[in-house]
Amino acid sequence: CARPSSSKKKDLNSHITTELEKLATTYKSKNDTWRALGYQKAISAIRNYPREISTREEALKIPGVGARLADKVAEIIESGRLRKVAEVCEGEEAETLKLFMGVWGAGPHTAQAWYTQGFRTLDDLFTKATLTRHQEIGLRLYKDLNIRIPRTEAAEIETYVRETALGLVGDLKVEVCGSYRRGKATCGDVDMLITHPDGHSHENLFRPLLSHLRQTGFLTDDLVCQEDNGNQQKYLGVCRLPGKDRLHRRLDIIVVPYAEFAPAIMYFTGSAHFNRSMRLLATKMGMSLSEHGLRVGIVRQGREKLNDGVLVDTPTEESIFTHLGLQYRPPHDRDH
Ligand code: DCP
Ligand code: MG
Ligand code: MN
């Protein structure tokens, strides 16, 4: 779906999309990007379909659903499941790739390479694989990092970071974005965005904040510390709240200038799929949307931008939707 739909629809065909998702995920982990993308497109189309699909013919009429996919839809409608899922997703190779993809820093390519080298368990990776620094952290903390974070704990992490930040610079604006802001019950990580309404006081925060959080032992491992991303500073790492029995949790922090607050919070709230749709729509309208801002009057040749266009003032997320001719969608309505 190129155009983000303006209101949330009930997912009437989740029994179908759930089965197809399993295939898409497995193909992705097998690096069969082409096939994974085909399924992903069909899944989006089926999700946006406003009625419960009851026949093969009906499925076939949905754009993005071809004959072979319609057969699969029919099989799910009739039997509630897909035999191909067992075939493709439940073999030894698929299970091993899934296991290896759980290592932070390992994508489908690496997982496949490890499998080809004969590794089958995490212990094989520990003892025999050549690991990058990220993968070493991902493997050491494998168990913790593969457990999702309950909302309540994400809120505790937020409070911890917020209070540390406010101890350094007053009147900061601190927001948790990502799946948390979209209202999910559990989160893969905590995504925090920090800015300062005066337009410049955010500049002195990034390094002192990180060194404070390290000193207290809250940050346990650094993954990425990126300062050259235009005016935005980005930290990806691992934290752990003080106290007994706490798990290591993934934490992302971005610090942005106030002028970029709206495009940044929109980007960082996601979902990734929603962001892709919004950027695609902007492109079709001769604009360009990023976490830094919305630009109009972009001339393109194929995919290449021939000019920088003109930055428009976007003080709020609402204003970005308006510029794109869309109705506002609150965060909990931005999953697709
Ligand atoms: N993002 C994006 N494209 C990516 C990665 C991220 O647009 N390739 C944006 C949208 C995401 C946001 O950044 O919602 C945060 O990224 P996360 O990976 O933390 O994703 P979520 O918070 O949405 O989900 P999770 O619960 O898995 O963390
Ligand atoms: Mg997240
Ligand atoms: Mn994140």
Ligand 1 closest atom vs CA 276: 7
Tens digits of per-residue pLDDT, 201-216? 999 999 999 999 999 9
Give me the pLDDT at residue 6, please: 46
- Give the residue numbers annotated as catalytic, written as ranges: 72
Ligand 1, atom 27, lies closest to the CA of 188
Tens digits of per-residue pLDDT, 25-54? 989 888 888 999 999 999 999 999 999 999
ipTM: 0.99
Taking the C-alpha atoms of residue 299 and residue 283, their distance in angstroms, rounded to an integer, is 10
Mean pLDDT, the chain, rounded, equals 94
Ligand 1, atom 17, lies closest to the CA of 178
Q: Distance from the CA of 252 to the center of ligand 3, in angstroms? A: 5
- Identify the three-state secondary structure at position 218: coil
Q: Which residues pair with 194 in a beta bridge?
A: 174, 255
In 3D, which of 228, 307, 308, 312 has the Cα closest to residue 263? 312
Q: Distance from the CA of 150 to the center of ligand 2, in angstroms? A: 12
Is the torsion defined by CA of 133, 135, 137, 140 positive or negative? negative
Pocket test for ligand 1, best of 189, 226, 290, 291 (most atoms within 8 A of CB): 189
Pocket test for ligand 1, best of 184, 271, 273, 274 (most atoms within 8 A of CB): 271
Taking the C-alpha atoms of residue 162 and residue 173, their distance in angstroms, rounded to an integer, is 9
Please answer whether residues 103 and 138 qualify as being in contact, where contact means their C-beta atoms are separated by less than 8 angstroms. Answer: yes
Model confidence at 188, pLDDT cuts 50, 70, 90, reads very high
For the chain, report the end-to-end CA distance as a whole number of angstroms. Answer: 9
In this structure, what are the phi and psi dihedrals at residue 183, rounded to the nearest 5 degrees? 90, 15
What average pLDDT does range 161-183 have in this prediction?
98
Is the pLDDT score of 9 beyond 60?
A: no
- Identify the three-state secondary structure at position 179: helix
Read off the pTM.
0.84
Nearest bound ligand to the CA of residue 253: 3
